[in-house]
Chain A
Amino acid sequence: MADLAIDLAGIRSPNPFWLASAPPTNSGYQVMRAFEAGWGGAVWKTLGEPIVNVTSRFGGLDFKQTKMIGMNNIELITDRPLEDNLREIEQVKRAFPDRAIVASLMEMPERRRWHELVKAVQAVGVDGFELNFGCPHGMSERGMGSAVGQIPDLVAQTTAWVVEVSRVPVIVKLTPNITDVRHTARGAVEGGAHAVSMINTINSLIGVDLDSWKPIPQVDGQSSHGGYCGPAVKPIALNMVAECARDERVGIPISGIGGIASWQDAVEFMLMGATNVQVCTAVMHHGFGIVEDMIDGLNNYLDGRGIASAGDIVGKSVDRMTTWENLNLAYKVVARIDQDVCIHCNKCYIACEDAAHQCIDRVVSSDGRDTVVVDESECVGCNLCAMICPVDCIHMLEVDTGEPSQSWKQRQALAGLETR
């Protein structure tokens, strides 16, 4: 049994799986059930001046018959009174002292108001704070959420106000609705944050109803942009985690969020530098029970590779991410098709023919069978055919080009040119 316990900037939990601040952490009743199911921590639904929500609030993106590969929402922060939330936080923490309870906070950009909120909340005994500078809708129009999170100086300043009075670690939750997440992450570091978490939801409009022509979700016939999350956003989140993890000027622990639904997703985020992960959409889709396989699967994965502790994989793939100019131009892979497994759907053929480099040929084999064969001398090794093969019978093989390793940067330097 591997040691799954993690320590995110001083916040400890028995496993890396936390609930993200969202509907699943709306009340003590829910967080209690989540902890019973095995979740290692929970970031409470964002506390602040209670708001009024609209109906309806969510929209789902289906792909073919797969439900909700993405969802968006126009929900705001908690709509429950602060004192109710604080009382329930205290009760849950007493019942589950080993789990991490982090309070998510959002407040008007005023030092005094932030101080009051931080003090009131830490009085009931939370393990950390997460500053919600991320919600892209509603609150941002009132100068909160991503209105703060998009400006590195405001991130730094607001973080500093919190750190001034906080007795527990402070996490800053970053918005993806920026061009370069490292700038806002650096702002958080400047303000004294102990960790960053990412990503919050992405600006989005999930769809338009073809019959009524109303945008989705609709409120009395109208809608407004919402926050996008779920499996479809994972690649965006993973890249932002990797960007921050390899930035020396960030250099603080990361809590990964965005599209995580399984232990495999969690491992990828951890390899890319996340100390732990947070989950929202997958729970909204399937309930708290999914954590059982997340824990079990991670444990078996680590045991299977002889790794003693979950912390040992954190960041192990970070230095494999670099900039394009450093990639080896002499490296070559080509596609090869396993004829014994091929089912002859010809999808690789048409993909290469119409959308790649016309290097898959349809030939009749010596025993009269229709086959598809890669012309390896023409193959540029793009991966497309292997990606679409429905039976995974195309493998990318390394070939020795005989040329020495050389990156674009090195090539430019040899030619006496600057790369940028």
Chain B
Amino acid sequence: MDLERAPRETSLGPSIHAELSELDVLAEANRCLNCYDAPCTRACPTHIDVASFIQKIGTGNLKGSARVIMQANPMGASCARVCPTEDLCEGACVYADDDRPIRIGDLQRYATDWLVKSGVDLFQPGRATGKNIAIVGSGPAGLSATRELRRLGHAVTIFDANPALGGLNTYGIVPFRLPMDVALWEAQQVLKLGVDVHTGVSVGDDVAPSELIARFDAVILACGMGSVPPLGIPGEDLDGVWDALEFIERAKCGDGIRAPGPSVAVIGAGNTAIDALTCAKRLGAPRVTMYYRRGESDMTAYPFEYDFAKHEGVEFRWYCTPIRMLGEGPMVRAVEFVRTAPGRPSGTLARPLPAAIPGSEFVVEAQTVIRATGQSRLSDLIGGFGLAQSHGIVAVDETLRTSHPKVFAAGDCIFAKGSREAMVVEAAEQGKTAAASAHRMLCQAPAAITQSSVAQ
């Protein structure tokens, strides 16, 4: 990847995780009990040996610490910043019940920051196998699969529609959570293993899926999800109405986004909505309000995200849904909402749909409206590969093989809405799994990465 051509980012204010001081790092590291069969490691989707990397920080062995992290999780530096640790390792820490779990995420950040600064290369490509694998999408899933395949000695070619690698890590996660330079550094670490990269190439438009299947020994589909679908209400095409992902991307890249507002309305209550809200706030909008058709207890954003948004000065309106956007010339100027009532529990729906209350319509002024009601699925691309899918979710077996024997899939494109939100760390683990499965298919051998491919 040509880093010169990488997008320039704006940080939009201080990181939401303050860096630990050297003294705090040691205090936290020494507080860790070094549990046996530790719950933190069991809770990590990539099974980072948390106790081990923390003990290594304690002995000043930062290279060893970073290796433990990055070996288990090729996205270890991003995950140190973006993982919902309260739900994962820190939530499982034996000290969590006391409300003082070890600050695993911050320690992981310390070790990986050291790695970034040190310039040390931890991994080396394996001995060439002569096999060639295509990766569609260079987000966490695609990069993670690439790294593992290169360590196993397979040649890898990445295709990504974006100009820079990293997927949502680079473009979609707000900079005050994950700065772009960390995402790009992590992509660069993978590229250093020797990868053929085709950016700005949209598979399905610029290259046919059938061509990839024919040209490569295996394909890993890691295309993520699509844009936020339209709400399907009048006025949605007015200027000033945004897809949350596009809004965040433009804000993160610092290109051509005017100060939003003064009044900003965000529709939806997931983690993406929180990111859009806080982004708008940090871009200088004085009034930023979230509107949600359900109640506070139904919101899908993590509690700590919600707290963060409140802390940033965001306002919340529950039980209302937009029915119309009102314009002034080409620009949006207001949104009309109708109040909703909690839906009746029904046997078939996990979450009952709220019902509009007739006559309860109201209009709020908004010069910026942001849709954050979830991402659409890339059904066309999946269809282009001829893969079995269910509403845009690629069907895979437990080895992450799709209905086509040469095609594997990982990351958000196989994410089925469940108890958890989509996460970078899950995508990274699935990338590893898909790589191991492709390797097993190509070499009829389990994916044993030899020590020689770990720089000592």
Task: Name A residues whose Cβ lies closer than 8 Å to a Cβ of B.
Answer: 64-65, 343-347, 349-350, 362, 390
Contacts and interface: CB of A to CB of B under 8 A. Distances in A.
A346 B37 contact: yes
Given A343-B94, A344-B94, A345-B94, A64 B30 contact: yes
Interface string B27-58: 10010011111110000000000000000001
Contact of B33 (A65, A347, A349): A347
Contacts of A349: 36
A65 B26 contact: yes
B26 A343 contact: no
B109 to A, nearest CB: 20
B36 A346 contact: yes
Interface string B14-27: 00000000000011
Given A64-B58, A362-B37, 18 more contacts: A64-B26, A64-B30, A65-B26, A65-B27, A65-B30, A343-B94, A343-B95, A344-B35, A344-B39, A344-B94, A345-B33, A345-B35, A345-B38, A346-B35, A346-B36, A346-B37, A347-B33, A347-B34
24 contacts: A64-B26, A64-B30, A65-B26, A65-B27, A65-B30, A343-B95, A343-B97, A344-B35, A344-B39, A345-B33, A345-B35, A345-B36, A345-B38, A345-B94, A346-B35, A346-B37, A346-B38, A347-B33, A347-B34, A347-B36, A349-B36, A350-B36, A362-B37, A390-B33
Interface residues of B, number: 14
A347 B38 CA distance: 9
A386 B80 CA distance: 35
A362 B39 CA distance: 14
Nearest to B27: A65
Interface string B309-352: 00000000000000000000000000000000000000000000
Chain B at the A interface: SS class? loop
Interface centre among B26, B27, B39, B97 (most CB of A within 10 A): B39
Q: Report the 6 A-B pairs with minimum CB-CB distance, sorted nearest first.
A: A350-B36, A346-B36, A345-B35, A343-B94, A64-B30, A345-B94
Nearest to B39: A344
Contacts of B39: 344
Interface of B: 26-27, 30, 33-39, 58, 94-95, 97
In this complex, the member of B34, B37, B38, B95 whose beta carbon has the largest number of chain A beta carbons within 10 angstroms is B37
Contacts of A346: 35-38
A362 B95 CA distance: 20
Contacts of A343: 94-95, 97
B142 to A, nearest CB: 36
Nearest to A390: B33
A341 to B, nearest CB: 11
Nearest to B51: A345
B400 to A, nearest CB: 29
Contact of A347 (B30, B35, B95): B35
Nearest to A349: B36
B93 to A, nearest CB: 9
Contacts of A390: 33
Nearest to A388: B33
A409 to B, nearest CB: 40
A345 B26 CA distance: 20
Nearest to B42: A370
A381 to B, nearest CB: 22
Nearest to A362: B37
B9 to A, nearest CB: 37
Contacts of B97: 343
Nearest to B97: A343
Nearest to B58: A64
A344 B97 CA distance: 11
A349 B34 CA distance: 13
B86 to A, nearest CB: 18
A347 B32 CA distance: 12
B392 to A, nearest CB: 36
A347 B36 CA distance: 6
A70 B58 CA distance: 20
A362 B37 CA distance: 11
A354 to B, nearest CB: 9
Contacts of B94: 343-345
A51 to B, nearest CB: 38
A77 B222 CA distance: 75
A345 B58 CA distance: 19
Nearest to A372: B36
Contacts of B95: 343
Contacts of B38: 345-346
Contacts of B36: 345-347, 349-350
Contacts of A64: 26, 30, 58
A22 B309 CA distance: 59
B322 to A, nearest CB: 44
A353 to B, nearest CB: 8
